[in-house]
């Protein structure tokens, strides 16, 4: 992006965004909730006490999803697909909780998750003046970027020391505002209940991002403190009746990221370079993982989470890519695209847990010697607890799977960059990718958390002396990663950050905070109504029922992925079939909202977000009220299934407050 284009960009912002926010659009921060829109459209003005209660009842999963507390005893609900990774880590060849589900009939039977963290947003503080104030006249864009990063690190460390809460400085409005978010952390989290994957993901990939749906995509976990269930005075009361057609509903969750503030040039880069490269890379990786899964049942179990994630990502990215309006893109490609493609190709991890751990350890040992403000993001003092929580996790690592992933990653680098690339020559050293992967994975000790801890605690001397092949590989790759990161910061990130602040100031001059910022995996509030929508020449209903589940399964002759688990066939006569199963609402959501509670005006739990329809996939760039729909599991369906199908009446009683 060239500096001379800024006046043009500012004019584009002024004219192209002249209407502000319409309809039920928006992922609003809790410091700036959509009070006017709610009052004008629905006659509802949530009090500050209501907002605080909802905020403190909402939780963020470090695995990349949302959830909420639903009992005073630390019980939290999220999606099965958010808990998928933890289910897999708790499973083994003898006990497959992903396939078979899990129910702890007593608290003593609840299973401790290996590396799950739940975060609750306790407070928010505007620190814009501090972060922007360190940028002085005459600074280069790179100097300004370093100054901002240093100040953000100082703010986070000061807050962590004074409050002992996780402290994250968040950029909003593309750098127009900076806020300090403080979180209470729960790191002792235990699995309570999960249905079988086939029940949670009925219809499989063909039904993914579609509606009508018939999924029980939920899981229950419990937060503990000092070895006892956490006392959570803020939790969402359960409303088993759910929400009626046309009723106002709201969602409190953590949308992962949107790109609605991008300029035309940035969108063009996404369309022409970023998305095609990203899709191609994901498809290559999926092909390799599927090949590994085909080796046998145990390999298929190990690869299930990654296959699910890659299929989900590919379908989402394809929908976003196809939804881009080519008429919008009439500017030249920005110069960052080639660099980003190289960054993506020069990777030794790409799904490999061992390679990722080695990379993190090598970087940690180098960064920890620097002053806090000069370190790479992710290695500041305020972030070290989370980093070590990951580095020393006892989660299982499967060597055969790791070898397949590392082979694919190295082969991808070779195919994309060629044999004469310096990075390829350094990491392969004249050998084939499969040979390097085999020798590295089979010879490494990084599978042992104690060994990883000894390297971290041993510091630079231990790392330099290590002959562990995975550490050796990471040391070879490290200079290339650092060079690319340096180039990216100087040529791209610093320019985009400076430009973003200028564009944000133009937006603020016109709209103030009547507009919402792009999603940043921070807590947001969105609203809409339960309603169907026009689809395929007919109309999709606002809800589905258990009747529909059995009909859809029968329509496909009960063949996968439309087969039912035996318990649903055996207990069909016990289920109240008219009970609502899933529903849709005009809620503005995106990935990261998975597991978010759907609540009514009274702040009661009426459902849980688990997907969007196919029309919602353009939501990364825009919201269209007529057809964008969020798909949720109905609160009544969860209680019905727990009581009638899973013999989990005590758990149902805890949810409804008995």
Q: What is the pLDDT of residue 236?
A: 99
Q: What is the pLDDT of residue 21?
A: 57
What is the SS3 assignment for 11? helix
For residue 434, with 0-12 CB atoms within 10 Å meaning exposed, 13-18 middle and 19 or more buried, which class applies?
middle
Q: How far apart are CA 607 and CA 260, in angstroms?
A: 27
- DSSP, res 104: -
Could you report how far apart the first and last alpha carbons of the chain are, in Å? 60
For residue 430, with 0-12 CB atoms within 10 Å meaning exposed, 13-18 middle and 19 or more buried, which class applies?
exposed
What class does CATH assign to 45-235? mainly beta
pLDDT band at 618 (very low <50, low <70, confident <90, very high): confident
Tens digit of each residue's pLDDT (9 = 90 or more) over 439-482: 999 999 999 999 999 999 999 999 999 999 999 999 999 998 88
Secondary-structure breakdown of the chain: helix, strand, coil percentages, each rounded to the nearest 5: 50, 15, 35
State the average pLDDT over residues 56-76: 98
Count of CB atoms situated within 10 Å of the CB of 620:
24
Q: CA 622, 79, 295, 344 torsion: positive or negative?
A: positive
Residue 9 has pLDDT above 80, yes or no: no
For residue 384, with 0-12 CB atoms within 10 Å meaning exposed, 13-18 middle and 19 or more buried, which class applies?
middle
Residue 11 has pLDDT above 70, yes or no: no
The CA-based diameter of the chain, rounded to the nearest angstrom, is 76
340 vs 192, more confident = 192
* Cis? peptide before 212, omega within 30° of 0: yes
State the average pLDDT over residues 382-402: 95
pTM for this structure? 0.86
Domain 248-259+522-656 fold? Thrombin, subunit H (2.40.10)
Q: What is the pLDDT of residue 57?
A: 99
Residue 155, C-beta contacts closer than 8 angstroms, at least 6 positions apart:
127, 130, 131, 167, 169, 180
Q: What is the pLDDT of residue 594?
A: 98
Q: How far apart are CA 264 and CA 270, in angstroms?
A: 10
Residue with tokens 């999709």: 540
State the average pLDDT over residues 523-552: 97
For residue 160, with 0-12 CB atoms within 10 Å meaning exposed, 13-18 middle and 19 or more buried, which class applies?
buried
517 vs 268, more confident = 517
Q: What is the pLDDT of residue 20?
A: 52
Q: What is the pLDDT of residue 339?
A: 40
In b/e form, how buried is each residue of 633-643, taking b as 16+ CB within 10 angstroms? bbbbbbbbbbb
Q: What is the pLDDT of residue 309?
A: 86
State the average pLDDT over residues 353-368: 95
Q: What is the pLDDT of residue 430?
A: 94
Q: What is the pLDDT of residue 345?
A: 52
State the average pLDDT over residues 355-371: 95
* Cis? peptide before 561, omega within 30° of 0: yes
Helix axes 275-293 and 336-345, enclosed angle (nearest 10):
10
Residue 342 has pLDDT above 50, yes or no: no
Contact call for residues 404 and 292 (beta carbons, < 8 A): yes
Least Cα distance to 254 among 38, 62, 51 occurs for 62
Q: What distances in angstroms separate CA 630 from CA 228, 394, 399, 540, one per listed residue?
A: 35, 36, 39, 13
State the average pLDDT over residues 283-298: 93
Tally of residues, the chain: 658
pLDDT band at 262 (very low <50, low <70, confident <90, very high): confident
Q: How far apart are CA 392 and CA 453, in angstroms?
A: 6
| Run of H or E residues at 307 | helix 297-322
Q: What is the pLDDT of residue 261?
A: 78
Tens digit of each residue's pLDDT (9 = 90 or more) over 126-154: 999 999 999 999 999 999 999 999 999 99
Tens digit of each residue's pLDDT (9 = 90 or more) over 568-612: 999 999 999 999 999 999 999 999 999 999 999 999 999 999 999
Q: What is the pLDDT of residue 503?
A: 76
pLDDT averaged over every residue in the chain? 90
Q: How far apart are CA 55 and CA 36, in angstroms?
A: 19
pLDDT band at 4 (very low <50, low <70, confident <90, very high): very low
Out of 25-34, 321-330, 628-637, pick the least confident: 321-330
Q: What is the pLDDT of residue 604?
A: 99
């Amino acid at each position: 992006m060239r500096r001379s284009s800024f006046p043009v960009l500012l004019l584009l912002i002024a004219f192209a965004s002249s209407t502000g926010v319409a309809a039920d659009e928006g992922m609003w921060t809790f410091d700036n909730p959509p009070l006017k829109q709610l009052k004008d459209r629905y006659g509802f003005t949530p009090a500050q006490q209501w907002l605080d209660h909802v905020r403190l009842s909402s939780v963020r999963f470090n695995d990349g999803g949302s959830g909420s507390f639903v009992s005073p005893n630390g019980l939290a609900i999220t999606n099965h697909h958010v808990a998928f990774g933890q289910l897999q880590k708790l499973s083994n060849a003898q006990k497959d909780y992903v396939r078979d589900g899990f129910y702890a009939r007593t608290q003593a039977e609840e299973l401790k998750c290996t590396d799950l963290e739940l975060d609750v947003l306790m407070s928010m503080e505007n620190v814009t003046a501090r972060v922007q104030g360190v940028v002085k006249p005459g600074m280069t864009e790179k100097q300004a970027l370093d100054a901002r990063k240093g100040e953000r690190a100082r703010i986070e460390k000061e807050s962590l020391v004074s409050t002992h809460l996780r402290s994250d400085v968040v950029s909003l409005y593309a750098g127009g505002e900076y806020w300090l978010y403080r979180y209470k952390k729960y790191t002792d989290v235990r699995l309570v209940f999960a249905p079988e994957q086939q029940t949670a993901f009925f219809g499989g990939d063909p039904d993914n991002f579609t509606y009508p749906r018939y999924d029980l995509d939920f899981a229950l976990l419990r937060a503990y403190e000092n070895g006892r269930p956490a006392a959570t005075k803020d939790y969402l009361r359960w409303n088993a009746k759910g929400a009626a057609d046309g009723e106002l509903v709201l969602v409190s969750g953590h949308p992962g990221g949107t790109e609605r503030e991008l300029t035309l040039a940035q969108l063009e880069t996404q369309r022409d370079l970023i998305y095609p490269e990203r899709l191609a890379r994901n498809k290559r990786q999926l092909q390799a993982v599927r090949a590994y899964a085909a080796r046998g049942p145990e390999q298929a179990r190990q690869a299930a989470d990654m296959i699910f994630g890659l299929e989900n990502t590919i379908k989402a990215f394809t929908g976003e890519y196809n939804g881009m309006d080519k008429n919008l893109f009439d500017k030249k490609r920005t110069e960052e695209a080639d660099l980003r493609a190289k960054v993506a190709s020069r990777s030794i991890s790409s799904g490999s847990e061992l390679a990722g751990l080695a990379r993190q350890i090598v970087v940690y040992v180098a960064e920890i010697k620097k002053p806090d403000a000069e370190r790479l993001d992710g290695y500041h003092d305020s972030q070290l607890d989370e980093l070590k929580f990951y580095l020393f996790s006892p989660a299982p690592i499967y060597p055969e799977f790791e070898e397949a992933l590392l082979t694919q990653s190295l082969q991808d680098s070779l195919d994309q960059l060629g044999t004469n690339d310096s990075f390829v020559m350094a990491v392969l050293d004249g050998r084939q990718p499969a040979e390097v992967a085999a020798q590295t994975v089979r010879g490494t000790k990084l599978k042992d958390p104690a060994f990883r801890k000894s390297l971290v605690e041993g510091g630079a001397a231990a790392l330099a002396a290590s002959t562990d092949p995975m550490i050796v590989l990471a040391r070879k790759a490290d200079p290339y990663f650092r060079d690319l990161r340096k180039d990216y910061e100087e040529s791209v990130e610093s320019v985009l950050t400076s430009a973003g602040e200028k564009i944000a100031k133009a937006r603020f001059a016109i709209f103030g905070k009547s507009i919402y910022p792009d999603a940043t995996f921070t807590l947001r509030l969105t609203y809409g109504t339960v309603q169907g929508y026009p689809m395929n020449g007919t109309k999709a209903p606002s809800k589905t029922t258990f009747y529909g589940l059995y009909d859809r399964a029968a329509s496909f002759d009960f063949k996968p992925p439309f087969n039912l688990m035996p318990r649903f066939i055996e207990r069909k006569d016990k289920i109240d079939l008219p009970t609502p199963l899933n529903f849709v609402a005009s809620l503005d959501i995106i990935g990261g909202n998975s597991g978010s509670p759907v609540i009514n005006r009274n702040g009661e739990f009426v459902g849980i977000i688990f997907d969007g329809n196919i029309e919602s996939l353009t939501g990364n760039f825009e919201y269209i009220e007529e057809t964008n729909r969020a798909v949720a599991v109905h609160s009544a369906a969860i209680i019905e299934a727990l009581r009638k199908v899973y013999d989990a009446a005590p758990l149902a009683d805890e949810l409804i407050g008995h």
